[in-house]
Chain A
């Protein structure tokens, strides 16, 4: 599914948060949303997710207004991973992951074989098979993040929106999460991910969109977006002089060790 939106505006509490942002998400790509705090990244995601409602003609899926879809149709196509997500009851890991199938089920429909198959596959891919009976509050931060991501993957969405999915994670869990998001792209879905770590953004994303003060400052492949000029404008940071280029500054200098791979 190709998702596009033109000239999005949004006010929250009388404050203009988005001042004419356009966005395009192509099939199978990982789009990174970057920008300083308060630039409007989360608001943009919430608009696409349907939590905030943009004017109906503004948001198009494959050229058709997304508003034409019912809420559950939309729930099957677009999954949203909130910032600091949590579970309000101490439900088991398996039940939380299984919630991802809800948009596919009618009110009285019981989960079928296909649903069980998807749940099992996602549990395996995310390395949660050994934790299925654990209750959510007893998990570590990294495990919780993985469970919530697994829930979103279980939707089998065409577009996965992830709001700072790695913000609270250690380096290896960060890479694990990003690998899982990349895997979703590999299976034909697309991902829009809000990131603060510019190295992860440069390494994993096919394209970046840099927001500043409710507008798009730059968009394109990581090299063309992460220029010293843009960084200075958006974040007020400079590339250190001993680093010859911006690209070098954002290179990943570590990777997951053999035993940390999620698929092992």
Chain B
């Protein structure tokens, strides 16, 4: 696959993404004449339709875009780093750490006092969990140790969440925590978007330029080292990027499963199986998938609110199984 083919793929994906983004502004329980709403909001006319557009639909679409891209690019980086197509961005504890942090904030009631406590709790949880996996696995250890440490920390986070649910003072608190964990972007505000933006951008920035190293890792860690790749530095960089970006995103949206796992899988054959080229494609692909899923949940009849995280997992799991069965022939 040449550079031009790569550019073409990214352009096509980009066009699909732009289309879905616009569509996501149109689709909802209330029909909104988008052009009129845009005109109203430019004229600073606080009509209902302009409010729905700028305060509901736009933040929702932006959050879906950023979160999906983060899940996609982190998934691709993690699969490239561990050379394991089953690795998900949540493998190194970032997502479950963020969930634990958020649940602690909800449990303690700080979120009612100070709304930023929720995203900050999530980011802190993500960073701490990832740091623990990193320290447990040691900076020079191989992939298997990393995966095992990740599994251990994820299990610990999830059991602590269960403990908090178990000890929750009221059914209302339980419901709040469970609903958050299901993962939703339906009620995101522009404030949420601005809170998650710096962390996700920083994470993406850290991941740029890792493509070559991930390509070299195709030949194994020893060979990559002799090709001038500083593995501990690469590992540290991808870990930090995932913890910050995924932590920021998940703290706002809650757990959204399978996007980070499925998207790199789906796009890998289209980039000639090259881990470096997969990064950008997966970022765009993740955004496409989450925007599409978020549009899909709006199509359910009003009153039954399906959380987008539930939908992605529900559709993602069988789809993933199908991919695994289909791709067995090229598995090494």
Give B residues with C-beta under 8 Å from A.
1, 3, 83, 209, 212, 215-220, 222-223, 225-230, 268, 272-275, 330, 332
Report, as a range, how many residues of chain A touch the other chain: 35 or more
CB <8 Å contact, B223 and A80: yes
CB <8 Å contact, B332 and A88: yes
Give A residues with C-beta under 8 Å from B.
46, 49-51, 70-76, 78-80, 82, 85-92, 95-96, 99, 102-103, 105, 107-108, 110, 135-137, 148, 151, 155
> Which B residues are CB-close (under 8 A) to A110?
3
CB <8 Å contact, B226 and A85: no
CB <8 Å contact, A96 and B223: no
CB <8 Å contact, A85 and B223: yes
Q: In this complex, which of B83, B228, B229 has the most chain A Cβ atoms within 10 angstroms of its Cβ?
A: B228
CB <8 Å contact, B219 and A50: no
Task: Give the number of A-B contacts (CB < 8 Å).
Answer: 92
How close is B252's CB to chain A, nearest CB, in angstroms?
A: 31
Q: Is the interface of A mostly helix, strand, loop or mixed?
A: mixed
CB <8 Å contact, B226 and A99: no
Offer 16 A-B interface pairs, CB within 8 angstroms, sorted by A: A49-B226, A50-B226, A71-B228, A74-B228, A75-B227, A76-B228, A82-B220, A85-B219, A87-B218, A88-B219, A88-B220, A90-B330, A90-B332, A91-B274, A95-B272, A96-B218
**15 extra A-B contacts, CB within 8 A, seeds A50-B225, A137-B330:** A71-B228, A74-B228, A75-B227, A78-B226, A82-B223, A85-B219, A90-B330, A91-B272, A91-B273, A91-B274, A95-B272, A99-B215, A99-B216, A107-B212, A135-B330
Q: A92-B272, A110-B3 are in contact. Are A87 and B219 (CB under 8 A)?
A: yes
CB <8 Å contact, B274 and A89: yes
CB <8 Å contact, A96 and B219: yes
Q: A88-B332, A102-B216, A137-B330 are in contact. Are A80 and B226 (CB under 8 A)?
A: yes
CB <8 Å contact, A72 and B228: yes
> Which A residues are CB-close (under 8 A) to B332?
86-90, 136-137
State A51–B142 Cα separation when bound (angstroms): 13
State A72–B212 Cα separation when bound (angstroms): 12
Q: In this complex, which of A70, A79, A90, A95 has the most chain B Cβ atoms within 10 angstroms of its Cβ?
A: A90
> Which B residues are CB-close (under 8 A) to A82?
220, 222-223
State A148–B223 Cα separation when bound (angstroms): 10
State A151–B226 Cα separation when bound (angstroms): 12
